Chain A
Amino acid sequence: MSFLAGSAVTSFGAHPGRSTLDLMAEAASAALADAGLERGDVDGVVCGYSTTHPHVMLSTVFAEHFGLQPRFATALQLGGATGVAMAMTAHLVIEAGGAERVLVVAGENRLTGQSRDSAIQTLAQVGHPVYEVPLGTTIPAYYGLVASAYLHEHGAREADLAELAVLMRRHAGGHPGAHFREPVTVDDVLGSRPIAEPLKLLDCCPVSDGGAAFVLTRRPVNDHSLALLGAGQGHTHQHISAAPSLLRYGAGPSARTALAQAGLGLERVRYAAVYDSFTVTLALLLEEIGFAPPGAAGRMAADGYFSTAGAVPLNTHGGLLSYGHCGVGGAMAHLAELHRQMTGRAGARQVPGELDVGLLHGDGGVLSSHVTLVVGRP
C-alpha cells in the first residue's frame, strides 16, 4: 500500500511567460506544502512529458531544476492516461521498496507555448503516421468517429452527450482555478461550432496551461493522507483503425483489476474522477466502468446522478472539459480534486456525506490506454 499525502493543481488557462518547468515547480512546491514535507524529504521523482519541452529525460531535468537528487527517477508517456499511470508507478515503486516519498509532477504551457495549429498537429500524432495522419486527422476527428459509432449503436442523442458538458461547466463554476466557468446550456453545446461532427466545440476540452503534482508516501504523514487500495491498467490498441471494438475498450478490465485489488465492488465508490477529453469519452468510460448502462450516461447526468449532491459525484472541479487540459497534468487535476473531496477540504464545493472510497480513471490515445486507481480512507 502507499498513501496520497499531498496534492496540488495550479489554475488552468493562459499563463503567458510561464514554462513547463515553471508550472511543474509551482505545482510541486504546493503539493509538498500540502503533504507537510520539505524538498529534502523526497527520494523519488516521477514525471511525464511536455509537448512544449520535449526531452528524453524529463524527470532528471526537473529534479535538477527543483534541486532534488532522488534515488529513484523516471518519466513515462501514456498520452492522457500518463498522470494516472505516474501515480500508479509511484505506488508500485513504494510498494517494492524503491523509494519512500515520491514526488509525481507535471506541467505544460500547452496553450501559450505554441501555436494552436502546432498543438493540434502534435496531438494528432497519436494517430498512425502512415495510415491515418496523412488523411488530415485531428484528435477530435478520431473521437468524432468514436462518437458516431456510440450514438448509432446506443440510440443516444447529441443532446445527451451535451448534458455532460453542461455538468462539467456547472462544476467548474465552483472552482476559481478553472479555465472556463461561465455556465452553458444544452442548446449552447448543440449550437457551438462543429469541430469534428458529431462533436461541437463545447463537446471538446480546451487546450490549457497548467501544472499538477502529488506526493505519495510509504506511510501516512498527515491527517489527510489517503490510501491507494488498488490499481489496474488495460491496453487494447494504439490507433483507432486497429481497435478491436468501437464500443468497448480497456476501461472495463482496468477498473475491474483495480477494484478487485482493493477488494471492493463498484457500488462502494462514492466519488468518481473520470477522464473527459470529450463528452463522448466521458460517456463511454462511465458506461464501460459500470457507473451507467450503455448509452445512458448523459441522461443520468441530466437527472443529477453525477452532481455534487448526486449518488456518485463526478469531477467536481469541472474536469478536462471545463477546468481544462494542460496535457499530463490534466487528469492529475481529477486526483487532486478527489483528494480534496475525500478529505473534507473542498470548501464550497464539498460533497456532503462520508466519501470513503473514490475511483480515478485515465484514458490515453484514442481510448487506447487505460489506468484506474481506487483510493480510500486509511
Chain B
Amino acid sequence: MSLPDWTSGGAGLVVQRCASCGATWYFARSLCPRCGTDSPESRPSTGAGTVVAVTVVHRAPSDEWRPFAPYTLALVDLEEGVRVMGHAEPGVAIGDRVVVRFDRRAERVVPVFEVRR
C-alpha cells in the first residue's frame, strides 16, 4: 500500500532512504543518487524541520493561484535530513522550527508549514 503523499492528493510528506548507504532524499526515484543501489525504501516524514529560505509570492503564475496571492513559500530542512519546498504560514522566518499540515489550495493538496508551539 502506498504512503499518503501530497503529490498524489494525500496528507503526507514522503522521503526516500537507501538501505545500502543510508542516503536520504526527497524527489522519488528508483535508485539511490549517491551509490546507485536500486529499490530505495519510501517512508513517511514527521513533517517537522527548520526553515532555511522564505519568499512571499505577490505575482502569481496563473489564474488558479491569483486568489491566494500573496502566499508564502519556504524551503524547510526536515528532521529526516532532506530539504523540501512548501507553502508556509505568513510571517514564518529563516531559523523557525516548523511542522507541516496539509491544506487544499488551487484545487490541490499542498504542504503548509507552521511554527511549532
Which listed residue (B7, B57, B62, B85) contacts A196, Cβ 8 A? B57
Tell whether A131 pairs with B57 under 8 Å between CB atoms, given A137-B73, A145-B73, A149-B94: no
- Cβ contacts B1-33/A at 8 Å (1 or 0 each): 000000100000000000000000111100000
- Distance in angstroms between the alpha carbons of A130 and B8 in the assembled complex: 9
Tell whether A136 pairs with B68 under 8 Å between CB atoms, given A241-B75, A242-B26: yes
Which listed residue (B7, B27, B58, B110) contacts A195, Cβ 8 A? B58
Contacts of A194 in B (CB 8 A): 56, 58, 70
Interchain CB contact under 8 A, B7 and A130: yes
Contacts of B87 in A (CB 8 A): 135
Tell whether A135 pairs with B53 under 8 Å between CB atoms, given A196-B58, A242-B26: no
Interface residue tally of chain B, by bracket? 35 or more
Contacts of A241 in B (CB 8 A): 26-27, 75, 83-85
Of all chain B residues, the one with the shortest Cβ separation from A128 is: B27
Interface residues of A in 113-137 (CB under 8 A from B): 117, 120-121, 124, 128, 130-132, 134-137
- Distance in angstroms between the alpha carbons of A134 and B108 in the assembled complex: 8
Interface residues of A in 190-222 (CB under 8 A from B): 193-199
Contacts of B84 in A (CB 8 A): 131, 241
Interchain CB contact under 8 A, B27 and A239: yes
- Distance in angstroms between the alpha carbons of A137 and B71 in the assembled complex: 10
Contacts of B27 in A (CB 8 A): 128, 130-131, 239, 241-242
Tell whether A138 pairs with B59 under 8 Å between CB atoms, given A148-B53, A242-B27, A246-B53: yes
Interface residues of A in 121-168 (CB under 8 A from B): 121, 124, 128, 130-132, 134-138, 140-141, 144-149, 152
Contacts of A246 in B (CB 8 A): 52-53, 75
Interchain CB contact under 8 A, B53 and A138: no
Interchain CB contact under 8 A, B85 and A132: yes
- Distance in angstroms between the alpha carbons of A134 and B104 in the assembled complex: 12
Tell whether A136 pairs with B53 under 8 Å between CB atoms, given A195-B58, A239-B27, A241-B26: no
Q: Is A88's beta carbon under 8 Å from chain B?
A: no
Contacts of A121 in B (CB 8 A): 61-62
Interchain CB contact under 8 A, A196 and B55: yes
Interchain CB contact under 8 A, B71 and A136: yes
Contacts of B25 in A (CB 8 A): 242
Interchain CB contact under 8 A, B75 and A145: yes
- Distance in angstroms between the alpha carbons of A194 and B108 in the assembled complex: 26
Interchain CB contact under 8 A, A149 and B52: yes
Interchain CB contact under 8 A, A136 and B75: no
- Cβ contacts A345-371/B at 8 Å (1 or 0 each): 000000000000000000000000000
Q: Is A240's beta carbon under 8 Å from chain B?
A: yes
Contacts of A148 in B (CB 8 A): 53-55, 94
| Listed A/B pairs (14) with beta-carbon separation below 8 Å | A130-B28, A131-B85, A135-B87, A140-B57, A141-B73, A144-B73, A145-B74, A148-B53, A197-B70, A241-B26, A241-B75, A241-B85, A242-B25, A246-B75
8 tightest A-B CB contacts, nearest first: A144-B55, A136-B65, A145-B53, A197-B56, A149-B53, A194-B58, A152-B94, A196-B55
B residues with CB within 8 A of A: 7, 25-28, 52-65, 68, 70-71, 73-75, 83-87, 94-95, 105-106, 108, 110
